[in-house]
């Protein structure tokens, strides 16, 4: 059985995907569940994921993502979209869900709710969006690991016009803003200059700083 480290050594940011190969739904569900279970600040889960298999939608996004081929060649295009703002309704919904699922109310938890409402809701909308976007990146990390475990290729992409993608996916009306794209599929045998090259990372001693 492979380890997480082995899986991470195997994965790379695939530059060319085989459009004829589709990822089984079971594997996609595994990746999505890993994203859903990711840690987020205060457990608010302030982002959502859109899973796009519609070829026409992918083609519309393609020119607004630097015409990167994985956008159209991938099996599934996952879009991480963060809340555009923290609102009273959104915060209360998550706190109420916790109370419902756990079957009780906790005074400390309710005090924490009031603290978030008092601090997040009045805050600048852009500040709140940026905070939510950082939570989406935690989910992205989970997705990369889960995909590697399933031996599924993926390529995280920030190189796109979020305004255009938001328009194509009608995200504004959903109270969302696109953060990062993740084409998911299988690497092509030819046409990917990265395929087969050695993974290169800084040595541990040049990467990890120990403070004892």
Residue 40: closest CA among 110, 99, 90, 75: 90
How many whole angstroms separate alpha carbon 21 and alpha carbon 40?
33
Work out whether strand 176-185 and strand 76-83 pair parallel, antiparallel, or are unpaired. Answer: antiparallel
CB 83 within 8 A of CB 175: yes
The closest of 91, 82, 76, 83 to 30, measured between CA atoms, is: 76
pLDDT tens per residue across span 10-46: 999 999 999 999 999 999 999 999 999 999 999 999 9
Q: Strands, E, within the chain: which ranges?
A: 47-52, 76-83, 153-154, 176-185
Q: What is the pLDDT of residue 1?
A: 61
Q: What is the DSSP letter of 199?
A: P
Chain length of the chain: 212
**pLDDT for the residue numbered 192:** 86
Q: What is the DSSP letter of 78?
A: E
Q: Is residue 84 packed enough to be buried (19+ CB in 10 Å), middle (13-18) or exposed (0-12)?
A: buried
Q: Does residue 13 contact residue 156 with C-beta atoms inside 8 Å?
A: yes
Look up residue 120 and give its two tokens.
């997040």
Residue numbers of the chain with a pLDDT score lower than 50 = none
The model carries a pTM of 0.95
pLDDT for the residue numbered 17: 97
Burial (CB < 10 A; 0-12, 13-18, 19+), residue 40, is middle
Q: What is the pLDDT of residue 196?
A: 87
How many Cα atoms within 13 Å fall on the side-chain side of residue 84? Answer: 12
Q: What residues contact residue 113 under an 8 Å CB cut-off, 6+ apart?
A: 91, 92, 95
Position 72 scores a pLDDT of: 98
């Amino acid at each position: 059985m492979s380890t997480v480290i082995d899986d991470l050594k195997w994965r790379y940011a695939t530059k060319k995907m085989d459009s004829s190969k589709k990822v089984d739904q079971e594997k996609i569900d595994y990746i999505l569940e890993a994203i859903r279970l990711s840690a987020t600040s205060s457990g608010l889960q302030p982002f959502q994921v859109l899973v796009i298999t519609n070829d026409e939608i992918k083609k519309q996004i393609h020119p607004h993502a630097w015409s990167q081929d994985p956008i159209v060649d991938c099996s599934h295009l996952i879009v991480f979209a963060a809340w555009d703002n923290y609102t009273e309704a959104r915060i209360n919904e998550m706190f109420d869900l916790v109370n419902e699922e756990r079957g009780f109310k906790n005074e400390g938890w309710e005090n924490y709710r009031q603290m978030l409402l008092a601090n997040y809701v009045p805050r600048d909308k852009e500040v709140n969006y940026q905070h939510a976007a950082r939570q989406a990146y935690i989910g992205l990390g989970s997705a990369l690991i889960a995909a590697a475990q399933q031996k599924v290729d993926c390529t995280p992409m920030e190189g796109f016009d979020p305004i255009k993608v938001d328009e194509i996916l009608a995200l504004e009306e959903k109270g969302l803003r696109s953060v990062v794209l993740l084409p998911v599929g299988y690497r092509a045998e030819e046409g990917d200059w990265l395929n087969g090259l050695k993974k290169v990372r800084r040595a541990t001693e040049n990467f990890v700083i120990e403070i004892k």
